[in-house]
Amino acid sequence: MSDKFSFSNLDELQRWHQGIKQANRNNIFCHCRTCGYEWIDSTFDVICLKCSSNNVESISSWQFPDD
């Protein structure tokens, strides 16, 4: 697999970005660094549902391997 992406035009690049945004929707793994609570959300800008801390790590779930 190449380390570089090749798009023939700006429209292709925009479609690729939209695909990434769609993959992120409802697939954000959140981990509270304060209390350890974990949940799935649809945004990166969250506060902990359990302790209300804003010290939350958010990672796109699609980035985790399936195996």
Contact (CB, 8 A) for 59 and 43: no
What is the distance between the alpha carbons of residues 27 and 59, in angstroms, rounded to a whole number?
A: 9
- Residue 33, C-beta contacts closer than 8 angstroms, at least 6 positions apart: 53, 55, 56, 57
Domain coverage including residue 30 = 13-63
What total of structural domains would you count in the chain? 1
Q: What is the pLDDT of residue 65?
A: 62
Task: Please tell me the pTM assigned to this model.
Answer: 0.60
CATH number reported for the structural domain that contains residue 39 in this entry: 2.20.28
Residue 22 lies in a domain: yes
52 occurs within a structural domain: yes
Residue 39 domain-assigned? yes
pLDDT in tens, 12-21: 888 888 877 7
Q: How far apart are CA 29 and CA 10, in angstroms?
A: 30
Tokens of 53: 């801390």
> Does the pLDDT at position 1 exceed 60?
no
pLDDT one-digit tens code per residue, 19-65: 777 776 768 889 999 999 999 888 888 999 999 999 999 988 766 66
